[in-house]
Structure 1
């Protein structure tokens, strides 16, 4: 039991460090993309945090198998370097027993990956896409940034000098409205107001931009005449608040729905989701013999070949999923030959390690 706790702690600590680094890199890259969209005015800054949280299960289902694989390589490699496994062998620890010890934390990681891939990731992807779709469909002045000309839908371009301290009142508003092709009016309108704010009618769900103390000009390209309107209060309708629409992509479908759908694309998505937890056990089987290094080589000696092996595994798995979706690979065959190939490779490596001994 003491040996089990020691080995499990070493593997999980190393896995956590690797997963933290990978998660930081991936989330940082995605955050930069969303922050650029927010800077352009496509999405409000206030939803960035929720978007990153919704993406977290999708990141974890890919990071955890790789980080557990590398965690075993690095942790056991360090034990070989310190000759600790030599002592374990002298005490009767065989590769088969070491594998049984390794499969226990692998079960915990596989459960976490399964929860993410089968339930949390589809739900998070659906909520993320629905949030972005809602923001794209809304004509909301909340996405506007002061001091910039920004498009906020409907052929409208707005400029706001600043917001009030509570963020509700706009100061020095300028709005340009482009004439639409099928509209009755051919005027391009330019509206300037000293202040403005947004209102929503609860009974109808309509949203309005209320401008105060300004002027409105209507100009038709090619004509010298122009219309001028001075107002104390002018209301501009933005649009209707829409309910969230359910998305039909298989990426957002529940696992139960994919299981009941006989279409090849649905079955390909289902087999991909179920493959990720299975990968954890096969990678654990591959990592144990690959972690065996000579103390003179260093524990990073087999790290690069192991990464190439993982990339080959993942690439063949993705190719099989694409082949199933395209109908070129039967559903009954599916991705299972890929798992069987690497499972056989892991058993072969473990058998060779058993024959040579753990010197």
Structure 2
């Protein structure tokens, strides 16, 4: 049918263009944030591109849902402004008739959103957590780039190395600023190396001096040493059973129905249900007056999208805190949004019918 084919082609073109724009904006924002984390030593500079890919893949469901929503509102809004909707309404095509071609165009994307939210999202978070933990496991001396100040993994020491060896375990002209609740110390040495004893790692400094000042009394101590050992704190990679809920597979969340796990599963299901409901809401929200060249309907629709996805986060928090059951949260929030979408659709269609009857009587 001409109606279905023309509407679906317009929706597909609008969706593709919108997705490209949103991906460009979001990837630029994520790149800036990831580079900032690498600059302050939270992630490895070599893993920036990989972390960027993981982050973008994890947030792809939201970007796809937003692209679908904008494409429906923009396409139908253009049809209102060009008086195409008036022609379809005069031909006996009601607003509810637009639901079928919209869903036929969007169902593959909805399947992708569901797969990404339920299966890809935990895998992406697990891989990203492993990269960060692996970087944190590196010794303090190996995390320091020559000629740059770097904070240790526990945040209590600041390192500076003039030059280091190829293996990353030995450094020369080492400077360490240590700060604790009791004292502040400045340690310098000609060389430094990492020694492993059991499960502990020690930074061994040779031929240097240490200047320490007590915080309470202000007493200062200056000492020289030939050999000085500092315990380097390490973090072990998290085991599978110790993963946070966002990095836990969806099946494991249901097998271990703790409030936090159920809250995470509620959020994942909310992405799929929210994307579907937003498609239905986009149809009545796209209504515009052809005599007014404004985009207030698009701005209002975007505000509705933001509010809805904040409600999804709110449902996750309520289930995780035990204030609501998972089934009640899904039924109340998303069932209510579905009912609201049907009510708006019915109200818009009744308004169009009354307008058509008045035009026919005139």
Given that residues 11 and 71 in structure 1 are in contact (C-alpha distance below 8 angstroms), is that contact kept between their aligned partners in structure 2? yes
Q: Which range is displaced more, 217-226 or 112-121? A: 217-226
Partner of 1:159: 160
Give, in angstroms, the shift of residue 288 of structure 1: 1.2
Asked if the contact 1:156/1:175 (under 8 Å) is kept, the reply is: no
Task: Provide the residue aligned with 1:338 in structure 2.
Answer: 333
Structure 2 counterpart of 1:145: 145
Work out the CA distance in 1 between the residues paired with 2:83 and 2:179.
Answer: 78
Return the alpha-carbon distance in structure 1 between the equivalents of residues 52 and 20 of structure 2. Answer: 15
Which whole-Å CA distance do the structure 2 matches of 1:94 and 1:223 have between them? 85
Deviations 1:237-283 (A, max 9, x none): 96889555334322221111122233333222212211211222221
Of the structure 1 ranges 21-30 and 260-269, higher mean CA displacement relative to structure 2 is found in 21-30
Alpha-carbon separation, structure 1, partners of 2:236 and 2:334 = 45
For 1:242 and 1:132, locate their aligned partners in 2 and report how far apart those are by CA, in whole Å.
11
1:319-338 to structure 2, matched below 5 A, reads 319-338=314-333
SS of the equivalent of 2:291 reads coil
Q: Return the offset for 1:58.
A: 2.6
Are the equivalent residues in 1 in contact too, given 2:267–2:316 (CA < 8 A)? yes
* Cα-Cα RMSD: 4.0
User: In structure 1, what is the Cα distance between the partners aligned to 2:229 and 2:326?
Assistant: 58
- Correspondence for 1:263: 258
Cα distance per residue 1:13-67 (max 9 Å; x no partner)? 3233333433444443333333223222333211111111111233112222222
> Structure 1 length normalisation: TM-score?
0.77
Number of the residue aligned with 1:76: 76
2:59 alignment partner, SS class = helix
Match of 1:190 in 2: 188
In structure 2, the partner of 1:184 is: none
Could you tell me how far apart the structure 2 residues matched to 1:61 and 1:297 are?
34
Structure 2 unmatched runs, 5+ = 214-218, 357-362
Local SS of the residue matching 1:297: coil
Alignment of 1:220-299 (within 5 A): 226-227=223-224, 229=226, 245-246=239-240, 247-298=242-293
> Any conservation in 2 of the 1:38–1:44 contact (CA below 8 Å)?
yes
Per the alignment, do residues 190 and 11 of structure 1 end up closer, same or farther by CA in structure 2, a change over 3 Å counting?
A: same
- What secondary structure does 1:176 align onto? strand
Matches within 5 A, 1:5-154: 5-89=5-89, 93-153=93-153
In the TM superposition, residue 72 of structure 1 has moved relative to its aligned partner by: 0.5
The 8 Å contact of residues 78 and 299 in structure 1, kept in 2 or not, is answered as: no
Return the alpha-carbon distance in structure 2 between the equivalents of residues 344 and 225 of structure 1: 74
Please give the TM-score of this superposition, normalised by the length of structure 2.
0.77
Aligned-partner SS, 1:57: helix
Q: Is the 8 A contact 2:113 2:272 kept in 1?
A: yes
Asked whether the 8 Å contact 1:23–1:59 carries over to 2, the reply is no
Would the alpha carbon gap of residues 173 and 244 (structure 1) be closer, same or farther in structure 2, given more than 3 Å must change? farther
Q: Distance in 2 between matches of 1:76 and 1:167?
A: 61
Distance 1:85 1:299, change over 3 A: farther
Distance 2:345 2:320 in 1: 34
> Cα offset for 1:112?
1.4
Query: Which secondary structure state, in structure 2, belongs to the residue aligned with residue 335 of structure 1?
Result: helix
Deviations 1:292-334 (A, max 9, x none): 2222123623122223332333333333332222222234422
Distance of aligned partners of 1:294 and 1:261 in 2 relative to their CA distance in 1, 3 Å threshold: same
Counterpart contact for 2:162–2:173, Cα < 8 Å: yes
Aligned equivalents of 1:128, 1:81: Cα separation in 2 = 46
Q: CA deviation at 1:124?
A: 1.0
5+ residue gaps in structure 1?
Answer: 182-186
- Alpha-carbon distance, 1:79 to partner: 2.0
Tell me the distance in 1 between the aligned counterparts of 2:304 and 2:220.
Answer: 70
Report whether the alignment pairs 1:306 with 2:307.
no
